[in-house]
């Protein structure tokens, strides 16, 4: 019996293995399970000092520690609940005058970078804090060891003078170029000092009360999660917000799409934001600064729970949009897509090949589609129609400010249009015979136009595209007529009229009368089948060049105003995403 059971067990294991091997490759992309790192201050924007403040009613006090390589927080010590404001400083001489901090004398008191280390060995923060209290000192965690330090002197000589005066006994010390002080805002008193060298950076996790909702103010916005302060290469503080992915998406949706838009549109935005974030993490876009995404349109606008302005903060609807789509991405085959989006397309999105030069074989879902929906809410969109005019002299000066056409003057513009009606190449010809050619990635900034869906006075192109419904009209209980064709009805009096497929009726063989079905399937996108840099070319040569267009943004992926319009027409968030990214599935 034992051998028989073993044989059956082996057969069962083999069967499970076979099932696993046959499972579709849709699981090739792995969802994000570890926290996401959001850069709040970095590079030239890194800070000498950085403040935090508890959001009243959403936690109080702070925990000090560090994040390991898996972004798990390790606590070393904590404040009590009464400490609600912290300022982190690089361990150099910093002056504080009220709430103002400076790296040079601003008339306030100095928080110096020299200290007196008191002899002693301490096993934990509590033991070190007890020893520091009667000396007016503070706890330091230096390369894995707890220490007690006293004073914050501007020079080594001042620290040595304090020892000589018998104020305190010990050794004069500083920190490495990676050290960070934690102080109570507006005070010179150091609460905690951290120096983990180049490998470990200070982490701050707000709240010591166990509050279920924790938010913290940083530079005018409230953020969930914790914070990391890293001195990359010994520089200023790179500040990173560390939180789970879904909380991050809640901090994106209200700022990339207005928080008073419909739930279904906000859900489409959540899918795009989550898919886009996934690829940024995968591609290590900001790897040199040790975080995944930034807070600007270079990635996605992220402001956490927002400010105190009701129109610029997360609310119940935006949070719900994220919660009800949690874990869902836009997929093309077995890959999560780069779900680009912008405000509006003006009539059609564009192929990524024409916009950024990337091949459609790499991004087949960024092929560009005719957008028949935006126009339905043109009155709501400030960029549904725009005009920008230049005289020849003004246009010449603008180009020269970018380093083009120096010593000559504009003679004509040569515009090449894609089949979707967008300008994919613009050549400027000058009187001296020279020329410059611009692709969409530079066109908007150089010519000051909001989108690449435009014409210039003197040259027009037909941008109307015929689209076809994917639904059909049933006949004879089985066959169907294509709704893209024209059909007519004959009344009892012999009158012939066109058939309105959204209001017509059919009579079955048994005499039952039913209304023809209306469609809620997005129109089939018309799209280029391959990378194709050629198209219709129009040449314009005038004394005044008037750019007339529609739309705002880079012309790739989802139109946010188009999403709004599609919701008004009854489409779901999945249909919206799958329309703007042909061939994808939301799941």
231/306 same-domain check: no
Q: Kindly give the residue spans of alpha helices, DSSP state H, lying in 359-473.
A: 392-401, 440-447
> What is the C-alpha separation between 132 and 119, in angstroms, rounded?
11
Picking from 246, 263, 291, the residue at the C-terminal end of a domain is 246
Residue 307, in any domain of the structure: yes
- 432 half-sphere exposure, CB direction, 13 A CA radius: 10
Is residue 434 a contact partner of residue 404, using CB atoms and an 8 Å limit?
no
What gap in Å lies between CA 394 and CA 398, rounded to an integer?
Answer: 6
Q: Last residue of a domain, which of 328, 358, 391?
A: 328
Residue 571 domain-assigned? yes
CB-side neighbour CA atoms (13 Å) of 43? 7
Instruction: Give, in degrees to the nearest 5, the angle at Cα 373 between 450 and 504.
Output: 165
Residues 207 and 265 in one domain: no
Residue among 91, 288, 88 at smallest CA distance from 204: 88
Contact (Cβ atoms closer than 8 angstroms) between residue 234 and residue 48: no
Local structure of 481: helix, strand or coil:
strand
Whole-number Å distance between alpha carbons of 420 and 576: 19
Q: Are 475 and 485 in contact (CB under 8 A)?
A: no
Residue ranges of E strands in 231-334: 238-243, 293-294, 330-332
CB 216 within 8 A of CB 27: no
* 350 within a domain of the structure (yes/no): no
Query: 332 by DSSP, 3-state: which?
Result: strand
Residue 291 CB burial class (10 angstroms; 0-12, 13-18, ≥19): buried
268 and 409 part of one domain: no
CA distance 368 to 439: 16
In a domain, 18, yes or no: no
Phi and psi torsions of 142, nearest 5°: -120, 115
Short-list 172, 234, 178, CA closest to 202: 178
CB 58 within 8 A of CB 306: no
Residues 380 and 448 placed together within one structural domain of the fold: yes
Q: Tell me how far apart the alpha carbons of residues 190 and 401 are, in angstroms, rounded to a whole number.
A: 50
Q: Determine how many CB atoms are found less than 10 A away from the CB of residue 576.
A: 28
Q: How far apart are CA 180 and CA 428, in angstroms?
A: 53
Distance CA 77, CA 74 (A): 9
Element (H, E) at 147: strand 145-153
Find out whether 472 and 506 touch, Cβ atoms under 8 Å: no
Please report the pLDDT score of residue 29 as a whole number.
63
If asked whether residues 390 and 509 sit together in one domain, one would say no
Q: Indicate if 74 and 120 belong to the same structural domain.
A: yes
Whether residues 235 and 263 fall in one domain: no
pLDDT under 70: residue ranges of the chain: 1-32, 458-521, 523-535
Q: Could you tell me which residues come within 8 angstroms of residue 156 by beta carbon, excluding any fewer than 6 positions away?
A: 114, 172
User: Do 241 and 277 have their domain in common?
Assistant: no
Q: Looking at the 3D structure of the chain, how many domains does it have?
A: 4
Task: Report pLDDT for 535.
Answer: 63
Q: Is residue 535 part of a domain?
A: yes
Please indicate, yes or no, whether residues 220 and 99 belong to a single structural domain of this protein. Answer: yes
* Domain match, 298 and 397 both: no
pTM, full prediction: 0.81
How far is Cα 277 from Cα 48, in angstroms, rounded to an integer?
Answer: 29
Rounded distance between C-alpha atoms, residue 333 and residue 85, angstroms: 49
Q: Does residue 24 belong to any structural domain of this protein?
A: no
Q: Which domain holds residue 502?
A: 472-515
Contact 51, 86 (CB under 8 A): yes
Instruction: State whether the Cα torsion 272-275-281-283 is positive or negative.
Output: negative
Residue 316 lies in a domain: yes
Give the integer Cα–Cα distance in Å for 31 and 336: 9
The partner residues of 386 in beta bridges, in order of sequence, read: 549
| Same domain for 300 and 166 | no
Q: Is 518 helix (H, G, I), strand (E, B) or coil?
A: coil
- Choosing from 246, 279, 303, the residue where a domain stops is 246
Q: Does any domain span residue 4? A: no
Residue 173 and residue 88 in one domain = yes
**330 with 272: CB under 8 angstroms?**
yes
């Amino acid at each position: 019996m034992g051998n028989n059971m073993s044989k059956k067990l082996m057969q069962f294991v083999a069967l499970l293995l076979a099932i696993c091997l046959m499972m579709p490759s849709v699981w090739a992309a792995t969802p994000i399970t570890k926290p996401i790192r959001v850069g709040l201050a970095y590079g030239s924007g890194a800070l000498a000092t950085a403040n935090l403040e508890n959001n009243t009613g959403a936690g109080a006090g702070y925990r000090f520690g560090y994040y390991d390589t898996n972004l798990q927080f390790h606590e070393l010590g904590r404040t009590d609940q009464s400490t609600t404001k912290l300022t982190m400083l690089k361990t150099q001489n910093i002056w504080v005058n009220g709430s103002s901090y400076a790296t040079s004398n601003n008339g306030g008191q100095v928080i110096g970078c020299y200290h007196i280390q008191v002899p002693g060995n301490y096993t934990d923060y509590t033991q070190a804090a007890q020893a520091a209290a009667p000396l007016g000192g503070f706890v330091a965690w230096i390369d894995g060891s707890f220490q007690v330090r006293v004073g914050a002197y501007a020079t080594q000589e001042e620290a040595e003078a304090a020892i000589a005066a018998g104020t305190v006994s010990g050794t004069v010390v500083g920190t490495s170029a990676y050290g960070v002080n934690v102080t109570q805002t507006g005070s010179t008193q150091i609460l905690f000092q951290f120096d983990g060298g180049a490998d470990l950076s200070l982490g701050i996790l707000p709240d010591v009360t166990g509050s279920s909702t924790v938010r913290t103010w940083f530079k005018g916005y409230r953020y969930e999660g914790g914070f990391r302060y890293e001195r990359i290469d010994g520089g200023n503080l790179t500040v990173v917000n560390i939180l789970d992915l879904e909380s991050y998406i809640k901090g994106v949706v209200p700022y990339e799409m207005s928080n008073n838009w419909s739930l279904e549109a906000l859900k489409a935005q959540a899918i795009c934001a989550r898919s886009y974030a996934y690829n940024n993490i995968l591609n290590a876009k900001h790897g040199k600064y040790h975080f995944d995404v930034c807070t600007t349109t270079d990635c996605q606008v992220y402001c956490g729970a927002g400010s105190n302005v009701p129109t610029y903060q997360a609310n119940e609807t935006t949070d719900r949009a994220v919660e009800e789509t949690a874990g869902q991405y836009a997929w093309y085959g077995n890959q999560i897509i780069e779900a680009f989006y912008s405000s509006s397309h003006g009539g059609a999105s564009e192929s990524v090949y024409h916009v950024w030069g990337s091949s459609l074989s790499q991004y087949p879902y960024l092929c560009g589609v005719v957008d028949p929906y935006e126009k339905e809410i043109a009155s709501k969109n400030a960029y549904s129609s725009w005009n920008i005019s230049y005289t020849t002299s003004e246009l010449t000066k603008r180009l020269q400010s970018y380093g083009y056409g120096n010593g000559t003057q504009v003679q004509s513009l040569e515009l090449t249009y894609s089949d979707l009606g967008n300008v994919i190449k613009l050549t400027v010809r000058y009187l001296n015979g020279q020329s410059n050619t611009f692709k969409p990635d530079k066109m908007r900034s150089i010519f000051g136009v909001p989108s690449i869906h435009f014409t210039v006075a003197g040259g027009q192109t037909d941008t109307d595209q015929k689209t076809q419904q994917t639904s059909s009209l049933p006949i004879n209980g089985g066959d169907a007529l294509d709704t893209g064709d024209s059909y007519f009805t004959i009344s009892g009096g012999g009158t012939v009229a066109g058939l309105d497929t959204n209001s017509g009726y059919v009579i079955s063989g048994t005499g039952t009368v039913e209304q023809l079905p209306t469609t809620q399937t997005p129109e089939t996108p018309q799209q280029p089948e391959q990378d194709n840099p050629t198209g219709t070319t129009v040449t314009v040569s005038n004394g005044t060049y008037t750019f007339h267009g529609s739309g705002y943004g880079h012309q790739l992926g989802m139109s946010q105003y188009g999403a709004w319009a599609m919701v008004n027409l009854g489409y779901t968030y999945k249909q919206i995403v799958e329309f703007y990214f042909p061939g994808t599935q939301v799941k």
